[in-house]
Chains A and B, each alone.
Chain A
């Protein structure tokens, strides 16, 4: 079994805003595209043009309806490794292939020592690990470890591919161990939450809940215009014309 390093000060992760995710899959396909040629290369696809296409993805989007006070909504829920602070997926690994980086807390699989036993995928309650059947090893979100420090790409692009692509700005990347970081601030402001908190794995990634919908205009304000009409004389159309004449003669 594999041990965890001492808790890192730096906790790199994602903050995902469920209020503005429209479920476009940009984060999923940009992740696939980057990572199939990156650290985890390849992310194999099986029967890609056939009856049952499947493949290794490090990020998937689930869409479902929920009913709430406002009558309900559809929530788009991107799901990937949460880079937990106390991940069982690491501690169950018999070879040490799964590990949590001491420096920044990223949870990685070393493909050279992974034997494809799948214990880690059983241990992860989030379903965030994907076995690549063709490659014979476990694949997972690397937080684009081959982008975020990569000196071969411009500094502004040193973010995970999913964050780089997201059209609505629903994904942010940063140090959740630093209370002053933009991501920590947004979690504080928006009551960001842990997925399946009760399991106790202390995910680093956070989700921001849907905002309260903008309030409807209060009944009194709706009626204020209409009240003025009732006080006038004549049909609605006569009132309109009289109003227009008055307005223009001012």
Chain B
């Protein structure tokens, strides 16, 4: 049959309106164009003008429709009516919900503000939530950084005033060699994807250091299948090789780092290991003319040789201490090869490749600039080696020091913020360490009194710890105590268990936002559920009141007493602020908003609107006028425009004042309209002469001060040697007034080494009989637990398998889909395996957060997510096994308190029969959500005649 071709309508109407906002399908914050048709979302695509994603959009972002219309969306405020965990709720009005919350919170604030624990999960509005918590006056606030990537942030900020991801990026267009260490695919999503595409197309070598060869690692030119937790050994051996072959950028080190600073060499004395300082307080260097200030641009520092100070104290330069550490036999490639699972010859070759590209293939840009001391430079010289790292480095108990080691490697190659290297994203770099101190010592906590400053910061020594009078922790999570002195993001993973154990004290109200703490965001899920439901001798819950805000019916909702339902990302205002976690790129300072592009069809409110309302109800000075009326009657939008952190500086940097000012300027009532007109973001271009060497670029530093991005005109000097660490160590040795408890002395002496070093992750050292490492990876199409409620994304992955090396499969006699028991010192999980080649043979892994609990996320009780899907969380203890003295530290990095998820050690054995995953938790009630539809035909309503 020859059929006549139908005449097609090739120009159907797509949408009646396009509204531009910011994605929230993961943490990446890309620009999106939301196409609307009759008030419904027809289509979401990437915003071509946006600095983050430049038009593209990943698998998650492109499935946003199904997240926005998820059947698990909460519908109205709810009050718990059954026991915790039952999921029995009744819907209440916002008036009643906010009245209850106000009653509960004001009672705490009037008596003992520390009895509120306010933790905000994957919050993108921490400058608001932090301000709210400061105004409340509790010391107990943080977001999820402590269980995510604080090692990355702190390791970088203490070392070079920047870090990976939001703080900086590889110079994708110019780099000639790229090393990718253990990265979670959503940190960041589209920028890394765009970048890798560029590198591969240019034929740039991509080296991936990761126990698992999937995703980005799958397209790498070379896969280094390192054993989990041994990246520091591998990097240390690379540094060893660079020193051994004398392929380091000495000139760069002298210009930008503390390599020539002298350190007092007086073991046992109170000033041992501190910088030798002159009368002006500046560190000192040795020159042919004798001692000089390290900040004297004329001084020609000599980085070698011990010296003697005028007062007779001996000193040594940092360069020597660093070289001694890494040239030692401990870091020789042969010495580390077996432990890290990388052959010595490969380590030597990778080191040689790094040096070859850095020094033989340097980039010279004819762009004059002026350095911090006012010296004009003709050119910008680049060492085109770049690196990126995330979770795989940070989620270990040795992550802080390992992260510092990676940065030392970058610095020795001269590749920080140079053409082709790793580039800061403004407002970074900050000072090293950042000049931002934590607040919340118990002595300063008073009823109805705000905190004197932000909760989170960067201690420079023991004097900045937050301690109770007895020297114990001030904070419920034990942040900034001797257990985790530099815990710059807090320890959200310890909050629930500490509150239930009343260690260091109990709380009256636990208030959480957007973190699935009763499931995949907690270690030891059964223990956490026990803590949430524990009762005291009077039959009352040990955590008396729990308020929770989320947009969706997660596993955590059933454990709260009061639910404040949040909106979806398309229904809300948000502010992606330079005061918080900005979206700058190396060539742009940028911030962004979300604004409601569709109206909620439920009785829900954006969490930030609710915080501003509660702030006014509770009478916080920052949220009320003198007459007691609300200061921001227009809610979050009003706050975003009119709040000033200091005069002229507010949440958004663009179109301030009369609409012409950037960074600093009076509030502009038309600011949000400007953002909306511009596609919901603002990007301010960095001038070419400021594009590189920002840490020491006079023009950039002055420009940054003018626009409120930087506080100090001084350059950022890279801290190869970190004096704050040594200050803690001196305290542990008995020096100074603030003394740690005896049980922590050896721990601090051992790990607070001012020069980075590798040590084995704790769990492997403290347990026996668990030969394998176990880690998770993020599927590219899922963000934490959110993806399983998405009808499209769960068709891609609805159940996870445990991936094991073929040799492990052969050893225990299993094939694909066979069931195994995986056990740790904490517990055991039954799951199904899949065999693969591309995994370190000593490592097993699975996809993160696919396993779900029955009752949650509007999934049916027989959904694969709960029947076959499993979590490794059940195997991970929030506490380390008891060490000497019986005290159990949190399962965290001893310096930053970062949750050590990836320290997990396991044993594997074949399980009999098949069946279901174990443990399988009872179904929670579903809070009265209407049942989910049995089929979807989304988009049928948009169909235009085809002819």
Chain A interface residues toward B at CB < 8 A: 1-3, 5, 19-26, 28-30, 32-39, 41-55, 57, 63, 65, 67, 71-76, 94-96, 99, 101-102, 110-113, 134-135, 145-146, 148-153, 156-157, 161, 164-170, 210-211, 213-214, 216-217, 221-222, 225-226, 228-229, 236-237, 239-241, 243-245, 247-248
**Interface contact tally, CB-CB below 8 A:** 305
Smallest Cβ distance from B654 to chain A, in angstroms?
Answer: 25
Interface centre among A37, A50, A55, A167 (most CB of B within 10 A): A167
Contact indicator B246/A51 (Cβ below 8 Å): no
Residue with the highest number of chain A CB atoms closer than 10 Å, among B201, B323, B789, B933: B201
Cβ of B587 within 8 Å of any chain A Cβ, yes or no, is no
Instruction: Tell whether, in the assembled complex, residue B194 and residue A167 are in contact, meaning their CB atoms are under 8 Å apart.
Output: yes
Q: A148: nearest residue on chain B (CB-CB)?
A: B10
Known contacts A50-B860, A216-B222; is A102 also within 8 Å of B246 by CB? no
Flag if B5 contacts A248 (CB, 8 Å): no
A168 pairs with B197, CB closer than 8 A? yes
CA distance A3 to B3 in the complex (A): 8
Asked if A167 contacts B352 (CB within 8 A), the reply is no
- B62's contact among A26, A57, A239, by CB below 8 Å, is which? A26
Residue in contact with B218 in the complex, picked from A1, A75, A95, A153, CB distance below 8 Å: A75
Closest to A164 in B: B45
Chain A's closest residue to B18 (CB) is A153
Cβ contact within 8 Å between B205 and A214? yes
User: Within the complex, what minimum Cβ distance (angstroms) separates B686 from chain A?
Assistant: 24
Residues of B331-350 contacting chain A, CB below 8 A:
348-349
Neighbouring A residues of B882 by C-beta, 8 Å? none
Do the beta carbons of A96 and B1 come within 8 Å of each other?
A: yes
| Contact B859 A50, beta carbon cutoff 8 Å | yes
A26 and B55 CA atoms in complex are apart in Å by: 12
Contact A26 B56 (CB under 8 A): yes
In the complex the two chains form, what is the Cα distance from A48 to B863 in whole Å? Answer: 10
Extra contacts, 8 of them, besides A113-B3, A146-B9 (Cβ < 8 A), are: A20-B201, A26-B61, A33-B792, A73-B219, A99-B3, A112-B946, A148-B10, A167-B57
Task: Give the shortest distance, in Å, between B880 (CB) and chain A (any CB).
Answer: 35
- CB-based contact B11/A152 at 8 Å: yes
Q: Are B791 and A1 in contact (CB under 8 A)?
A: no
CB pair B200–A149 under 8 Å, yes or no, is no
Interfacial chain B residues near A229, Cβ < 8 Å: 244-246
User: Bound complex: CA of A43 vs CA of B935, how far in Å?
Assistant: 11
Task: Offer 21 A-B interface pairs, CB within 8 angstroms, sorted by A.
Answer: A3-B1, A20-B196, A25-B781, A26-B56, A29-B59, A32-B63, A36-B939, A37-B42, A37-B942, A42-B943, A65-B836, A95-B1, A112-B6, A113-B3, A150-B14, A165-B62, A167-B53, A169-B201, A211-B200, A216-B222, A245-B302
Residues of B within 8 A of A111 (CB): 946
**Alpha-carbon separation in the docked complex, A195 to B134 (Å):** 61
Tell me whether B356 and A221 are in contact (CB under 8 A). Answer: yes
Q: Is the CB of B780 within 8 A of A44?
A: no
Closest 4 CB pairs of A and B: A96-B3, A37-B939, A25-B59, A225-B245
Contact B327 A49 (CB under 8 A): no
Interface residues in B, total, Cβ within 8 A:
110
Q: How far is the CB of A200 from chain B (nearest CB, A)?
A: 22
> What CA separation (Å) do A161 and B45 show in the bound complex?
9
- Closest chain-B Cβ to A67's Cβ sits at a distance in Å of 7
Known: A37-B938, A38-B12, A51-B864. A26 touches B219 (CB 8 A): no
Interface-located stretch among B606-614, B793-801, B809-817: B793-801
Given known pairs A37-B43, A42-B939, the reply for A74 and B304 (CB within 8 Å) is no
Complex Cα–Cα for A34 and B590 (A):
30
Which residue of B is nearest A53, CB measured? B795
Cβ-defined contact, B795 with A41, below 8 A: no
- Asked whether, in the complex, the Cβ of A29 is within 8 Å of the Cβ of B792, the reply is yes
Give the contacting residue for A33; candidates B48, B62, B319; CB below 8 A.
B62
The CB with the most chain B CB atoms within 10 A, among A30, A145, A148, is that of: A30
* B289 lies within 8 A of chain A by Cβ: no
B11 contacts A149, C-beta separation under 8 Å: yes
**Once the chains bind, are B219 and A19 in contact (CB under 8 Å)?**
yes
Q: Is B858 an interface residue (CB 8 A)?
A: yes
Q: B844 interface residue, CB < 8 Å from A?
A: no
A169 lies within 8 A of B194 (CB): yes
Within the complex, the shortest CB–CB distance from A212 to chain B, in Å, comes to 9
Report whether B245 and A226 are in contact in the complex, using a CB–CB cutoff of 8 Å.
yes
Inter-subunit contact B10/A167 (CB<8 Å): no
Which residues in B have their C-beta under 8 angstroms from that of A113?
3
CB atoms of B214 and A74 under 8 A apart: yes
From B190, B247, B300, B836, contact of A167 by CB (8 A): B190
